[in-house]
């Protein structure tokens, strides 16, 4: 049996196909120079552990599973982060490379890993902050009935990024 694997098959397969041992789940998240609350959010996003309509209904809770921003689609992780018109408008206002941002892959973990590999470190950090702010805005609508504009979310993300540059990323 291979280390860190239940049956060893996936680790050996990764070594043969990619020529390297696979990265432990979420390692690329924990190495990001971001506050813990953003990294924990990203980890929960990767694990499909955010309390959104689809996940809550899957656990047999009686909740409305529609998107609180657009009221059109079933609220799943993809929709909250990229599919909703609110999220798309917010991402457009960030000036991050959209072709990289919209490449979701199979799930959120693939999406974040793809971002980590294809953008600069500060862009990756900024993308995580934007995703975290989108989630925060989503919760404001649900919990407090407070509606933000995509511009406000993008601006709040930029403000937080400037704070990070001054406090955490001085060497960049």
pLDDT of 14 above 60:
no
Q: Is the dihedral of CA 67, 98, 119, 160 positive or negative?
A: negative
18 is a domain residue:
no
Print the domain residue range for 37.
24-167
15 is a domain residue:
no
Q: What is the mean pLDDT of residues 28-41?
A: 80
C-alpha angle with apex 12: 40 to 30, nearest 5 degrees?
15
pLDDT of residue 130: 93
pLDDT of residue 56: 60
Distance CA 41, CA 132 (A): 7
pLDDT of residue 95: 87
pLDDT of residue 57: 61
Tens digit of each residue's pLDDT (9 = 90 or more) over 84-107: 889 999 999 998 887 777 777 778
3 is a domain residue:
no
pLDDT of residue 161: 86
Q: Number of helices (H) and strands (E), helices first, in the chain?
A: 10, 0
Could you tell me the CA-to-CA distances from 91 to 144, 149, 152, 161 in Å, in that order? 23, 12, 12, 15
Q: What is the mean pLDDT of residues 13-41?
A: 66
Tens digit of each residue's pLDDT (9 = 90 or more) over 46-79: 887 777 766 566 666 566 667 777 777 677 788 8
**Paired strand residues for 74:** 66
Where is 15: in which H helix or E strand? Answer: helix 9-18
Give the up-direction half-sphere exposure of residue 42: CA atoms within 13 A in the CB hemisphere: 30
pLDDT of residue 1: 43
Distance CA 119, CA 133 (A): 19
How many domains would you assign to the chain? 1
Instruction: Check if the beta carbon of residue 53 is closer than 8 Å to that of residue 75.
Output: yes
pLDDT of residue 155: 94
8 is a domain residue:
no
What is the DSSP annotation of 74-137?
B--HHIIIIISHHHHHHHHHHT--HHHHT--TTSHHHHHHHHHHHS-HHHHHHHHHHHHHHHHH
Q: What is the mean pLDDT of residues 31-43?
A: 84
17 is a domain residue:
no
Distance CA 133, CA 127 (A): 10
145 is a domain residue:
yes
69 is a domain residue:
yes
Q: Using 50, 70 and 90 to split pLDDT, how confident is the model at 2?
A: very low
12 is a domain residue:
no
Tens digit of each residue's pLDDT (9 = 90 or more) over 102-154: 777 778 888 888 888 888 888 888 899 999 999 898 888 877 888 899 999 99
């Amino acid at each position: 049996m291979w280390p860190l694997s239940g049956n060893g098959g996936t680790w050996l397969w990764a070594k043969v196909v990619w020529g390297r041992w696979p990265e432990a789940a979420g390692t690329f998240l924990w190495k990001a120079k971001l506050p813990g609350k953003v990294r924990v959010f990203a980890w929960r996003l990767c694990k499909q552990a955010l309390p959104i309509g689809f996940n809550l209904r899957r656990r047999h809770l009686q909740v409305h599973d529609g998107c609180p921003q657009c009221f059109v689609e079933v609220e799943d992780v993809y929709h909250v982060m990229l599919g909703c018109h609110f999220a798309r408008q917010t991402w457009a206002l960030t000036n991050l490379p959209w072709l990289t941002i919209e490449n979701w892959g199979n799930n959120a973990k693939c999406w974040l890993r793809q971002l980590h590999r294809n953008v600069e470190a500060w862009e990756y950090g900024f993308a995580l902050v934007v995703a975290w702010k989108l989630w925060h805005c989503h919760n404001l609508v649900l919990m407090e009935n407070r509606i933000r504009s995509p511009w406000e979310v993008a601006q709040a993300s930029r403000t937080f990024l400037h704070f990070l540059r001054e406090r955490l990323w001085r060497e960049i």
